[in-house]
Chains A and B, each alone.
Chain A
Amino acid sequence: MAIVLFLSVFLIAACGLIYELIAGALASYLLGDSILQFSTVIGTYLFAMGIGSWLSKFVAKGLVERFITIELMVGLVGGFSSAILFLAFAYTDAFRLLLYVMVLIIGVLVGLEIPLLMRILKERFQFQDLIANVLTFDYLGALGASLLFPLVLVPKLGMVRSALLFGLVNAGVALWSTFLFQGQIRRVGRLRYLSVLVVAALGVGMVLAERITETADASLYADEVVLARNTRYQRIVITRWKDDLRLFLNSHLQFSSRDEYRYHEALVHPGLAAVPNARRVLVLGGGDGLAVREILRYPSVESITLVDLDPEMTKLFREHSLLRKLNSDAFHSSKVRVVNADAFPWLEEHGGQFDFVVVDFPDPTNYALGKLYTTAFYRLLKRHLAPGALLSVQSTSPLFARQSYWCIHETIRSAGLNTWPYHVYVPSFGEWGYVLAGKGEYKRPQVPPGLRFLDQTSLAGLFQFPADMAAVPVEPNKLNDQALVRYYDKEWRDIAH
């Protein structure tokens, strides 16, 4: 019996500390300045516990009932604290206020727990044993919680579910106490019913925790999240702020609808307009259909093959009304054939030649992606170029990642192609680079009329590189020696820090 009672002390002590840690960690995580957040949260919490302890003397009778009620309240408020705070941060301006109010409430309730429990137990134990044991288990619980929190709870469960789990522990102690102190409670049935209700509420919270986290996650993107989806290959997030739609793949911005036309016009027209009567076009990557939209401006084009790895991505841009509008229903054109496959093996396994090829892959952030920027890849691509064909490659930023950009350029040259490097300013990206390549010559073409950005004057400017973006000596990127991933990693890391 005694050990069971002291186990309750251990558990409620652990719960108490966990809520405090969650509040401190959440505040640090969302507001920054962890020293300030943790100090003020701990101070407020201890102060509130003091209030609770003082208030306990006004509880005169029905000690056990009060204790159980308090446990249920702690479980409910503490359990949902993390979810409430997350959502408050995402949707209100009152996060800070709410944070300290909740810390105060939980602190007061937790402050009440131990004095009440000691008074309940005082009949059963010698005072000297009682105080020693209660405090021992209290501190042990604190130790357990403080170790469990960073090592297990945060990495395995996350903050929302951790809080809910310990809310369940509080509610569990309440329920358990209704049996433990059965003789000393008058309205056992009602309390038990209440306990079960709280347990159920917290249980539902556990089940919905994923959704709560996701909703709260949305607040980490500056704008409204229109859509968030985990596919087999990536996390697709689309946000909207007024008329600006943005696509993020694995948190990397892919386009902003406000200026994507600059990016896509520059990706397609300098090359495609220079191939007279291009009929067969290949697009590698570009599952948003925005490059296809530009290609469809050419009546001579008879077929567009788009190879993108992720079927969810192409499906989304074929079906979602906002996105269909953005790519002008590109995927509903009878000229377009979508292939969901890995580009490198697809090129190895399929024959066929093309008059124009667009390569629009994610930046080379790792060795797997880096393989799509190697001499081996461009040599393979070269075999798919019809006579007179041109190839246009998105090549990261010549300003922020100068070596990376010129490395891609050097790699394409090493594969035996002639190259014409150019760049454009895209406000949401900054300076962005491309490499145009082909087996023959290139003459600056007449771009199609009706474009929003490109015309004859701006086209000529694309091929000028000012001194701070001019070519630098670099190694080509090869499968067996991926210089590009090393350049890229170094350059973007320098910018991030």
Chain B
Amino acid sequence: MPTSRHSRRAVCAGLVGLTAKAERRIDGGFVFESEVAGHAIRDRKPFPAPARTIKLPIVIVGGGMAGLSAAWWLEKKGFRDFVVLEMEKEAGGNSRYGRNEVSAYPWGAHYVPVPNADSVLVRELFTELGLLIDGHWDERWLCHSPQERLFLHGRWQEGIEPDIGLTAEDHRQFRAFDERIKEFRASRQFRIPMASGAPSDSPLDKLSFRAWLNNNGFKSSYLHWLADYSTRDDYGASSADTSAWAGIHYFAARDHDEKGPLTWPEGNGWILRRLLQKLGKFVRPSQPAVRIGKSGTGWEVQTPDTLYQCAAVVYAAPAFLLPYLDPAVHPVKTMNWSPWLVANLTLDRIPAEKGLEPAWDNVIYGSPSLGYVVSTHQDILMHLQRTVFTYYWALSEASPAQSRRDLLSTDWGVWKERILADLERAHRDIRQCVSRIDIFRNGHAMVRPSPGFLTNPERKSWEKGRERFFYASADVSGFSIFEEAQYRGVEAARRALAAIGR
């Protein structure tokens, strides 16, 4: 739609030899928007009486990775009398994914670090899925080279540990930090799943990761950046809002012999897809639990159309939601959840690059976002013309409540501008490449391991569970990663089986 103003500008631009660049139209909008349904529950809107009643030994509430892992375990043990109630039209939680004409892409978790011997369950699942064959990882789904790059001082460098422009003192601090991490690793306190090593209390849990760095003489701004990037990446919280124990866990719990991580175009949606092939028959989509209550020795779980009477509940939905379902439970006051924004940008062409080739994970130093992941990175095609960038932004600058308000009240157009302005630092032509931006606003994306989370009474109560009621999500661990969700899901399933005498 050339207006006269546009065409005049085009003529002028043409005269000085520039190609006329009309502002490119970018489509898109918000996706999922499940907070409407969620808020209806929160606001205790009246629900109709259920039309039917079903009796079952076990009901799993929540079809994310925790709920599906509980189902995976039950099914493995030959137990099939259960259902998985899912609020959304599709199961998956933080492992959900999308697909368009260019590529599949994640809407949340997008990789799993290569699990070491500690992560018995993850290795068991991955062996089943054919990822681990005779002790070898399937190269196809290990992250291809080049894995990571960082945009620092106006250019891309390999790896995300800052390297260019550092003083000798900065380098010394990075080495000293590595040494400390090695010691922590040797203590066997920091393991995945965390329950296999975490102490019931630790002096490291009494202060923030940032305070710990400062107290230990780590003042390098580059090291502080990496620490902060890491806690934002895994916990959605700044290093000042993260327990030092959790901050150290990020670095000390991972020692794998194979270069990873494992990743797929659709992110952890690949695992989800494979699990659903086997377990989809147990999943009841669009069936939010709206009431949960004790009934005799067992439980009643009510959805809009069905009343489930069961002996045991595996509660794999977020812990902050339960007080709205069961009036006997107190509202969560001390644990927090980080709000996230995930955007999928469809690109008609790949941004021009000087120097390094695009990596899988592309991080911009000093950006409030976490950068982007190239969803076509695992492709084995020689010439890619188009791609999808999955762009992550953990809103960690303000308090979770305030950030959540900003997240939900800001227009798509404003978010679009914020995202493009951020990417423009590293890709000047990004606006000429992007044709579509879809945005997922996840108000409660992941639980936060704030200082004191190890001894937090609320988290402790989830760990303990209730009579024949077992919390399954990563909330129990205090931080939300695939391995914890899977471990807590399986653990809850085990306890549920034991409780009903199976």
A residues whose Cβ falls under 8 Å from a Cβ of B: 148, 152-153, 156-157, 161-162, 165, 232-233, 309, 342, 344-345, 348, 366-372, 374-376, 379, 478-482, 485
Does B19 lie within 8 Å of A479, measured CB to CB? Answer: no
What residues of A have a CB within 8 angstroms of the CB of B219 in the complex?
A: none
Does B357 lie within 8 Å of A367, measured CB to CB? Answer: yes
Interface residues of A, dominant DSSP: helix
* Least CB distance, A492 to chain B, in whole angstroms: 16
Q: A478-B139, A480-B142, A481-B145 are in contact. Are A342 and B17 (CB under 8 A)?
A: no
Q: A152-B16, A152-B18 are in contact. Are A345 and B144 (CB under 8 A)?
A: no
Check if B318 is an interface residue, CB within 8 A of chain A: no
Query: Which residue on chain A has the smallest CB distance to residue B142?
Result: A480
Does B258 lie within 8 Å of A480, measured CB to CB? Answer: yes
* Least CB distance, B360 to chain A, in whole angstroms: 10
B13-44 CB mask vs A (1 if < 8 Å, else 0) is 00011110000000000000000000000000
What residues of B have a CB within 8 angstroms of the CB of A165 in the complex?
A: 17
Does B380 lie within 8 Å of A345, measured CB to CB? Answer: yes
Query: Which residue on chain A has the smallest CB distance to residue B144?
Result: A479
- Interface size of B by CB at 8 A reads 21
Q: A152-B17, A153-B17, A165-B17 are in contact. Are A480 and B382 (CB under 8 A)?
A: no
Query: Which residue on chain B has the smallest CB distance to residue A157?
Result: B17
Does A374 lie within 8 Å of B17, measured CB to CB? Answer: no
Beyond A152-B16, A161-B17, 10 additional contacts (C-beta under 8 Å) are A153-B17, A156-B18, A162-B17, A233-B382, A233-B383, A348-B380, A368-B382, A369-B382, A479-B139, A480-B143
A345–B381 Cα distance when bound, in Å, is 7
A165–B17 Cα distance when bound, in Å, is 8
* Least CB distance, A380 to chain B, in whole angstroms: 9
Does B146 lie within 8 Å of A367, measured CB to CB? Answer: yes
Q: Can you list 27 residue pairs at the A/B interface with Cβ under 8 Å?
A: A148-B16, A152-B17, A152-B18, A153-B17, A156-B17, A156-B19, A157-B17, A165-B17, A233-B382, A309-B382, A342-B380, A345-B380, A367-B144, A367-B357, A368-B383, A369-B382, A371-B144, A372-B382, A376-B139, A379-B139, A478-B139, A479-B139, A479-B144, A480-B139, A480-B142, A480-B260, A481-B259
Pick the residue among A157, A162, A367 that contacts B145 (CB under 8 A): A367
Does A482 lie within 8 Å of B382, measured CB to CB? Answer: no
Q: A148-B16, A162-B17, A375-B139 are in contact. Are A480 and B381 (CB under 8 A)?
A: no
Of residues 228 through 264 on chain B, the ones whose CB sits less than 8 Å from some CB of chain A are 258-260
What residues of B have a CB within 8 angstroms of the CB of A162 in the complex?
A: 17
Q: A162-B17, A342-B381, A348-B380 are in contact. Are A366 and B143 (CB under 8 A)?
A: no
Residue with the greatest number of chain B CB neighbours at <10 A, chosen from A367, A371, A479: A479
A201–B258 Cα distance when bound, in Å, is 65
Interface residues of B, dominant DSSP: loop
B133-148 CB mask vs A (1 if < 8 Å, else 0) is 0000001101111110
* Least CB distance, A342 to chain B, in whole angstroms: 5
Query: Which residue on chain B has the smallest CB distance to residue A166?
Result: B17
Query: Which residue on chain A has the smallest CB distance to residue B262?
Result: A480
Query: Which residue on chain A has the smallest CB distance to residue B143?
Result: A480
Query: Which residue on chain A has the smallest CB distance to residue B380?
Result: A344
What residues of A have a CB within 8 angstroms of the CB of B18 in the complex?
A: 152, 156
Query: Which residue on chain A has the smallest CB distance to residue B383?
Result: A233
What residues of A have a CB within 8 angstroms of the CB of B142 in the complex?
A: 478-480
What residues of A have a CB within 8 angstroms of the CB of B258 in the complex?
A: 480
A478–B145 Cα distance when bound, in Å, is 8
Does B357 lie within 8 Å of A342, measured CB to CB? Answer: no
Residue with the greatest number of chain A CB neighbours at <10 A, chosen from B17, B143, B147: B17
Lowest 5 CB-CB distances: which A-B pairs, in order?
A480-B142, A482-B145, A344-B380, A376-B139, A479-B139
Query: Which residue on chain A has the smallest CB distance to residue B377?
Result: A367
A195–B296 Cα distance when bound, in Å, is 101
What residues of A have a CB within 8 angstroms of the CB of B19 in the complex?
A: 156
* Least CB distance, A299 to chain B, in whole angstroms: 34
Query: Which residue on chain A has the smallest CB distance to residue B146?
Result: A367
* Least CB distance, B481 to chain A, in whole angstroms: 20
What residues of A have a CB within 8 angstroms of the CB of B381 in the complex?
A: 342, 344-345
What residues of A have a CB within 8 angstroms of the CB of B260 in the complex?
A: 480
A409–B142 Cα distance when bound, in Å, is 22
A133–B17 Cα distance when bound, in Å, is 27
What residues of B have a CB within 8 angstroms of the CB of A372 in the complex?
A: 382
Does A370 lie within 8 Å of B145, measured CB to CB? Answer: yes
Query: Which residue on chain A has the smallest CB distance to residue B140?
Result: A376
* Least CB distance, A496 to chain B, in whole angstroms: 17
Of residues 107 through 147 on chain B, the ones whose CB sits less than 8 Å from some CB of chain A are 139-140, 142-147
A366–B384 Cα distance when bound, in Å, is 13
* Least CB distance, B352 to chain A, in whole angstroms: 11
A342–B382 Cα distance when bound, in Å, is 7
* Least CB distance, A422 to chain B, in whole angstroms: 27
A148–B383 Cα distance when bound, in Å, is 34
What residues of B have a CB within 8 angstroms of the CB of A342 in the complex?
A: 380-382
* Least CB distance, B40 to chain A, in whole angstroms: 45
What residues of B have a CB within 8 angstroms of the CB of A156 in the complex?
A: 17-19
What residues of B have a CB within 8 angstroms of the CB of A367 in the complex?
A: 144-146, 357
Q: A345-B380, A345-B381 are in contact. Are A480 and B145 (CB under 8 A)?
A: yes
* Least CB distance, B385 to chain A, in whole angstroms: 8
Query: Which residue on chain A has the smallest CB distance to residue B139?
Result: A376
What residues of A have a CB within 8 angstroms of the CB of B16 in the complex?
A: 148, 152
Residue with the greatest number of chain B CB neighbours at <10 A, chosen from A370, A372, A480: A480
B351-368 CB mask vs A (1 if < 8 Å, else 0) is 000000100000000000
A372–B379 Cα distance when bound, in Å, is 12
Does A479 lie within 8 Å of B17, measured CB to CB? Answer: no
* Least CB distance, A475 to chain B, in whole angstroms: 11
* Least CB distance, A235 to chain B, in whole angstroms: 13
Query: Which residue on chain A has the smallest CB distance to residue B356?
Result: A367
* Least CB distance, A285 to chain B, in whole angstroms: 11
* Least CB distance, B216 to chain A, in whole angstroms: 33
A372–B382 Cα distance when bound, in Å, is 9
* Least CB distance, A311 to chain B, in whole angstroms: 13
Pick the residue among A309, A345, A370, A374 that contacts B383 (CB under 8 A): A309
Of residues 29 through 82 on chain B, the ones whose CB sits less than 8 Å from some CB of chain A are none
Does A371 lie within 8 Å of B380, measured CB to CB? Answer: yes
Does A374 lie within 8 Å of B382, measured CB to CB? Answer: no
What residues of B have a CB within 8 angstroms of the CB of A485 in the complex?
A: 145
* Least CB distance, A173 to chain B, in whole angstroms: 13
Does A374 lie within 8 Å of B357, measured CB to CB? Answer: no
Query: Which residue on chain A has the smallest CB distance to residue B138?
Result: A376
* Least CB distance, B426 to chain A, in whole angstroms: 19
Does A480 lie within 8 Å of B144, measured CB to CB? Answer: yes
A342–B357 Cα distance when bound, in Å, is 20
Residue with the greatest number of chain A CB neighbours at <10 A, chosen from B139, B140, B382: B382
What residues of B have a CB within 8 angstroms of the CB of A480 in the complex?
A: 139, 142-145, 147, 258-260
What residues of B have a CB within 8 angstroms of the CB of A478 in the complex?
A: 139, 142, 259
Of residues 366 through 402 on chain B, the ones whose CB sits less than 8 Å from some CB of chain A are 380-384
A366–B145 Cα distance when bound, in Å, is 10
A212–B359 Cα distance when bound, in Å, is 38
B255-290 CB mask vs A (1 if < 8 Å, else 0) is 000111000000000000000000000000000000
A77–B19 Cα distance when bound, in Å, is 26
A479–B16 Cα distance when bound, in Å, is 46
A342–B144 Cα distance when bound, in Å, is 18
Query: Which residue on chain A has the smallest CB distance to residue B385?
Result: A232
* Least CB distance, A255 to chain B, in whole angstroms: 20
A367–B381 Cα distance when bound, in Å, is 11
Query: Which residue on chain B has the smallest CB distance to residue A361?
Result: B382
A397–B143 Cα distance when bound, in Å, is 29
Residue with the greatest number of chain A CB neighbours at <10 A, chosen from B18, B144, B357, B384: B144
A95–B136 Cα distance when bound, in Å, is 63
Does A366 lie within 8 Å of B140, measured CB to CB? Answer: no
* Least CB distance, B228 to chain A, in whole angstroms: 27
A485–B145 Cα distance when bound, in Å, is 10
A344–B381 Cα distance when bound, in Å, is 7
Pick the residue among B144, B146, B259, B383 that contacts A232 (CB under 8 A): B383
What residues of A have a CB within 8 angstroms of the CB of B147 in the complex?
A: 480
